[in-house]
Chain A
Amino acid sequence: MGFLSPITALIVAGITVPLLVSLYFLKLRRRQVMISSTLLWKKAIQDLQVNSPFQRLRKSLLLLLQLLILGALLFAMSRPTMETVASPGQRVVIVIDHSASMNATDISPTRLDEAKKAAIELIDNLDTTGESAEGGALGGAMVVSFAQGARVRQSLTNDPSRLRDAVRRIEPTDQVSRLGPALSLIEPYVQTGSDDESDKLVVYIISDGKVQASGQAMSLAGAELRYIPIGGGPGRMAGAADPDNLGIVSFSARRDFDKPEIVQVFARVANFGSQPVSANLRLSLDGQVSRVQPINLQPAPAPDPESSATSTKHETSVQFDFVLPGSALVELAHDYDDQLESDNTVRLTLAPARRLRVLMVSRGNAFLVKGIQSAGVRQLSFMNPEKYEDQDPLSLRRGGWEAAGTSGLAGEGFDVIVFDGYSPTTTPKVDSLYFAASPPIEAIQRVASEEGDTGSQRVLTWERDHPLLRYVVLDDVILSEPGRLVVNSQASVMATGQSGPIMAEVVEDGVRHVVASFDILKSNWPIKISFPVFLGNTVQTLGLGGLADDAGIAYRTGDIATIPIDTGDNLSYTGPVTIDVVRTQGTTVLPVFTRAGLYEASQPIEPPFDRLGVNLLAPDESDIRTADILNVSSIATGTTATTSTFRREVWRWFIWAALAVMLIEWLVYTRRMHL
């Protein structure tokens, strides 16, 4: 410890200490007592003062405390400094992980709090005086938080209080953590830097190392990365407990295809702790416990980055079957007391058993009829184009359309309309699929093949990740006179033939239109496996809003939920946090879920959207063992880093100490006064 201005403090001490002592004697509040004679007392005082001149000071605790306060203030005045380890004057980025695993309680209270503490310590140690140890100016520091996405909490600044505020404002989430977006956010700052060492960007990543690399090498060229691991595990920090977490890492429900009232619930539970775990899994339906199943799991094997083989003894799959035709909230929870709360309970809302109602506007297409029927629709109605044009477009959606001349159940609204070789004159109000036809909208227009162009075409490319084209292989499909689509930027092309886009989709006014320019009767597609798969995907996706596979609705943290039903205004969901919904073009879009839990709608709306289950379901986050190495830039970023020291002023400590002693003095004083 050193002092910047000891002389000043000494001079002030020389004046104030005797002053205080003398003031103490002058100002001492004495209780006046009448006595018969002061004769003997005076003599006693004289005797005693001769024997011990400091008798008065002996019992004066208050004076002692006042001297302590003065001492602390004088110390502060002498501007004491301490040598502190810190980065020398570069620009500093503090990246804080606030994903689900950072809520683990292996460090009290949570890893996130510990990370914030580490960050604030880092900020405290920053030389914010504007001059670095090398004499260059500090380029400032910024704070970035990341979970599923990254966010700049505080842009580059030299103001430590703003940095600290930014760190304190970081709230916990239950999302997965992806470091990539955070590094992308930082990247521009690296690029503006020069080769000058003092302008180098130092990036502190405060995390438990559970970041999803998603197979891509993360890199941040030109910056110096330092990883500060938080939490227990291989890279365990002092004071952290052994990681101990039992997590439900997958959860889904499915209705039986033939008997929709039969529900199957699947879940996978994994132990990420170092001890064997025995627990009970409890399945509840609408809050009523339905099943309890005991499980025993071995400890998780040590994470080995070299081998991808995982032991299966530390995890198990469970299945529950029950009969439930209606809607219900299905909740699965385990009763093991572990360090991560958010993966202990998962829930989903079971949709009522139902099948799709599809209208086919066609002059006859047996292949298409077979294909749609195989897609598991409840009702398939037929109309010819003339009959269709007579209907009120809204009645087709809501029900009450003119049923005469049609077959099948009449009156109810349709979920999907399939147009086969007929382009409607008005835009349908129901999600639609078009073959050799197109809706009357600008975004997608079909151009028929020119006369004489009889050449067969193959499909050149298609979006294999598109939900409608999942498991659809178009390699061997040969199309005759496919025509082409003219699409604008609103539409997205799904498949492209030799003459241009042949499949595209667009969402207009909340209605989804999937357009294929070709006639299936002029292709070999109907006899390919991919055809019923495509129809199944499309009808289910359009009709059930992407919920075709699962009988229940559940979201993961980080998802953006779209509610495909017409909700009223002022709808909000209350759960771990309150979510206000945004309505755009007839669809209700919820913001990104940050916390796992059950969200309930503020107004009664149609099930299953009245209760939304949001789950973590991320094995990487449930595995709360801290990684000791963070692989970024394909160079392992360890915990070691070169540091330099600088002298930090610590006068604030003494001011605080003085205030504390002053408080004690006040307490002592009031105590004396009342005694």
Chain B
Amino acid sequence: MAETITQPETLLSPEFMHRLDRLDVMSRKILRGRMQGERRSKKKGQSVEFADYRSYVVGDDLRFIDWNLYARLDKLFLRLFMEEEDLSVSVVMDVTKSMDYGDPNKLHYAKRVAAALGYIGLTHYNRVNLYTFADTVTDMALGMRGRRPIPRMLSFIQDQQPIEGEHVSGNLAVVCKRLAMLQRQPGIIVLLSDFFDKGDMADALRYLGGDKHDVYAIQLLSPQEVDPAKGHILGDLRLRDIEDGDIAEVSVSPALIKRYKTNLQAYCQHVREQCLKRGVAYMISETDVPFETLVLKYLRQRGLLG
């Protein structure tokens, strides 16, 4: 069955999907689901897992009365079972032009991560929502559940292109605000972006913070961004911002490179701090880290997958 849904082979290989089958999306919080799923809920319900007893009140379903206890104690007790609910998994992917950069390409890398997370979510009957954003939320695929929408999900991801247009630059605050409005149901939100946002990061994360959502922020950086020498950024250059066309004229010297690296580190630290402050799980990955390693190892270490 898995073979039939691997049309966009560049995203997920059948072997990899087979390995993903064993994983599930984990939440650090127990969140309220909408439909019955495979996840234990705070609510008591109709699963096979025993939770507790309570005294019978009139009107309770007689099928759940523990007759053995009644025999022993001559009191009516009702057996309560764990309720299993579905989990809402939202993967939010940055499709600004800045993502279409680097070798390996950041956008392609993000697509693969999104596909993997979506696949895991769907195979475990979670409610999977996909969002893409640039200056605002640009596209979405909502309410996918079960294995059937896997091809749809993969082709949705595959079809995503960096948003062209003059001065279309990422605006995380607008995006987060819109997401908060769209994603009313509690669940896991995974943000895939390079977080090169010229706006206020703290302001943006404010909308997603709180107990309602379990938010993961995965910052993707290309090796050329981490070490400009790999991108042949040397000599007298006119650096043009791929998103907003902003120009920076530089004479790249070893001192400047050193300064740039320091700034990059500081910026990543800033993003991390803002995430932590808002209870957002943060992790960073370079795109030259094999995608399989990221999914199978790092995301499991971070507790997103289990």
Measuring CB to CB, which residues of chain A are less than 8 angstroms from any residue of chain B? 28-45, 47-48, 52, 55-56, 58-60
A200 to B225, CA, bound (A): 82
List B residues 194-240 near A (Cβ within 8 Å): 194, 196, 198, 222, 225, 231-233, 235-240
Pick from A30, A47, A56, A58 the residue with the most CB of B within 10 Å.
A30
Known A37-B243, A40-B260, A48-B255; contact A32-B250, beta-carbon cutoff 8 A:
no
B104 close to chain A: CB less than 8 A:
no
By a beta-carbon cutoff of 8 Å, the part of chain B in contact with chain A is 98-99, 101-102, 106, 194, 196, 198, 222, 225, 231-233, 235-243, 246-251, 253, 255-256, 259-260, 262-264, 267
Q: Which residues of A contact B222 (CB under 8 A)?
A: 36
Query: B263 near A59 (CB under 8 angstroms)?
Result: no
20 contacts between A and B (CB under 8 A): A28-B236, A31-B235, A31-B237, A33-B237, A35-B242, A36-B102, A36-B106, A36-B222, A36-B225, A37-B98, A37-B194, A37-B242, A38-B246, A38-B248, A44-B259, A45-B248, A48-B256, A55-B256, A58-B253, A59-B251
A29-B236 contact given A37-B196, A45-B248, A56-B251, CB 8 Å threshold: yes
The answer to whether B98 touches A36, judged by C-beta atoms less than 8 angstroms apart, is yes
The CA of A31 and the CA of B260, in the complex, are separated in Å by 19
Residue of A nearest to B247 (CB): A38
Q: Chain B: which residue is nearest A47 at the CB level?
A: B259
Determine if A48 and B231 form an interchain contact, defined as CB atoms under 8 angstroms apart.
no
Instruction: Tell me which residues across on chain A come within 8 A of B243, comparing CB atoms.
Output: 36-37
Residues of B within 8 A of A38 (CB): 239-241, 246-248
Contact yes or no, A55 B251, CB < 8 A: yes
Name the residue on B nearest A37 (C-beta): B196
Across the interface, name the chain A residue whose C-beta is closest to B241.
Answer: A38
State whether B240 touches A48 (Cβ < 8 A): no
Residues of B within 8 A of A28 (CB): 236
With both chains docked as a complex, state the minimum distance between the C-beta of A152 and any C-beta of chain B, in angstroms. 61
Residues of chain A lying within 8 A (CB to CB) of residue B251? 55-56, 59-60
- Specify which chain A residues have a CB less than 8 angstroms from the CB of B259 in the assembled complex: 44, 47-48
Known: A35-B239, A37-B243. 11 other contacts (CB 8 A): A30-B237, A32-B238, A33-B232, A33-B237, A34-B101, A36-B241, A36-B242, A47-B263, A48-B256, A55-B251, A59-B253
Q: B253–A32 contact, CB under 8 A?
A: no
Across chains A and B, the number of contacting residue pairs, with CB separation under 8 Å, is: 95
Complex contact A41–B196 (CB within 8 A): no
Does A34 contact B263, Cβ atoms closer than 8 Å? Answer: no
How far, in angstroms, from A48 to B253 measured CA to CA in the complex?
10
The CA-CA distance from A47 to B248 in the complex, in Å, is: 14
Inter-subunit contact A44/B263 (CB<8 Å): yes
Q: Which of B99, B194, B239 has the most CB of A within 10 A?
A: B239
**Residues in A neighbouring B248, C-beta threshold 8 A:** 38, 41-42, 45
A52 and B258 CA atoms in complex are apart in Å by: 14
Whether the Cβ atoms of A39 and B198 lie closer than 8 Å is yes
Residues of A within 8 A of B231 (CB): 33, 35
- Nearest CB in chain B: distance from A25 CB, A: 9
Residue from B102, B249, B263 in contact with A40 in the complex, judged by beta carbons closer than 8 Å: B263
User: In the complex, what residues of A have CB within 8 A of residue B98's CB?
Assistant: 36-37
Q: How far is the CA of A47 from the CA of B222 in the complex (A)?
A: 24
Q: How far is the CB of A53 from the nearest CB of chain B, in Å?
A: 13
Return A564 CB to nearest CB of chain B, in Å: 82
A55 to B255, CA, bound (A): 9
Bound: A304/B243 CA distance, A:
95
Query: By the criterion CB–CB under 8 Å, are B237 and A40 in contact?
Result: no
CA distance A396 to B279 in the complex (A): 138
Q: Which residues from chain B contact A45 at a C-beta distance below 8 Å? A: 248, 250, 256
Which one of A29, A41, A60 contacts B250 once the chains associate, using CB atoms below 8 Å?
A: A41
Task: Give Cα distance in the complex from A37 to B220, angstroms.
Answer: 13
Q: Which residues of B contact A40 (CB under 8 A)?
A: 260, 263-264, 267
In contact, A36 and B101 (Cβ under 8 angstroms): yes
Q: Determine how close the nearest CB of chain B comes to the CB of A164; give it in whole angstroms.
A: 46
Is B196 a contact of A39 with CB atoms below 8 Å? yes
Q: How far is the CA of A95 from the CA of B180 in the complex (A)?
A: 104
Query: From B255, which residue of chain A is reached at the shortest CB distance?
Result: A48
With most chain A CB atoms within 10 A of its CB, the pick from B99, B198, B232, B237 is B237
Chain A, Cβ-Cβ closest to B260: A44
A541 to B263 Cα, complex, angstroms: 108
Q: Beyond A35-B101, A36-B102, A39-B198, is A44–B256 a contact (Cβ under 8 Å)? A: yes
Contacts of A32 in B (CB 8 A): 237-240
> A59 to chain B: which residues have CB within 8 Å?
251, 253
A58 to B235, CA, bound (A): 12
| A346, B225: Cα distance in complex, Å | 83
Known: A41-B250, A42-B248. A34 touches B240 (CB 8 A): yes
Of A28, A36, A45, A47, most B-chain CB atoms within 10 Å: A36
Determine if B233 and A37 form an interchain contact, defined as CB atoms under 8 angstroms apart: no
Complex interface: chain A residues within 8 A of B232 (CB): 33
* Contact of A30 with B240 at beta-carbon distance under 8 Å, contacts A35-B231, A37-B196, A47-B259 already known: no
Q: How far is the CB of B246 from chain A (nearest CB, A)?
A: 5
Which residues of A sit under 8 angstroms from B253, Cβ to Cβ?
A: 55, 58-59
Question: Judging by beta carbons under 8 Å apart, are B267 and A35 in contact?
Answer: no
Does B236 contact A35, Cβ atoms closer than 8 Å? no
A39-B198, A42-B248, A59-B253 known; A33+B238 contact, CB < 8 A? yes
Residues of A within 8 A of B99 (CB): 36
- Provide the bound-state CA to CA distance between A667 and B243, in Å: 38
Contact residues in B for A36 (Cβ distance below 8 Å): 98-99, 101-102, 106, 194, 196, 222, 225, 241-243
In the docked arrangement, what's the CA distance between A42 and B249, Å? 9
How far is the CB of A668 from the nearest CB of chain B, in Å?
13
Q: How far is the CB of B196 from chain A (nearest CB, A)?
A: 4
Q: Could you say which of A41, A47, A55, A58 contacts B239, with CB atoms under 8 Å apart?
A: A41
Looking at the assembled complex, report how far the CB atom of A68 sits from the nearest CB atom of chain B, in whole angstroms.
20
- Residues A33 and B256 in contact, CB atoms below 8 Å apart: no
Instruction: List the A side residues contacting B101 at CB < 8 Å.
Output: 34-36
Separation in Å of the A338 CB from the closest CB of chain B?
59
Contact, CB under 8 Å: A41 / B260:
yes
CA distance A45 to B248 in the complex (A): 9
B241: chain A residues at CB < 8 Å are 35-38
Q: How far is the CB of B199 from chain A (nearest CB, A)?
A: 11
Bound Cα distance from A41 to B246, whole angstroms: 11
Considering the chains assembled together, what is the distance between the CA atoms of A36 and B263 in angstroms?
Answer: 15
Q: Note all chain B residues with C-beta closer than 8 A to A60.
A: 251
What B residues does A43 contact at CB under 8 A? 263
Chain A residues with Cβ under 8 A from B106's Cβ? 36
CA–CA, A58 and B254, complex, Å: 12
Instruction: Give complex CA distance A263, B267 in Å.
Output: 107
Q: A669 CB to closest chain B CB, in angstroms?
A: 13
**How many Å from the CB of A553 to the closest CB on chain B?**
76
* A39-B196, A44-B256, A47-B263 given; A34·B238 CB < 8 A: no
A42 — nearest CB in chain B belongs to which residue?
B248
Across the interface, which residues of B come within 8 angstroms of A31, CB to CB?
Answer: 235-238
A35 touches B233 (CB 8 A): yes
Chain B residues in 8 Å Cβ range of A34: 101, 239-240, 242
Alpha-carbon gap, A451 to B267, bound state (A): 143
In the complex, which residue of chain B has the Cβ closest to the Cβ of A35? B239
Residues of A within 8 A of B267 (CB): 39-40
The residues of A that contact B196 with a CB separation of less than 8 Å are 36-37, 39
Measured between beta carbons, the chain B residues less than 8 angstroms from A56 are 251
- State A29–B260 Cα separation when bound (angstroms): 22
Shortest CB distance B280–A (Å): 21
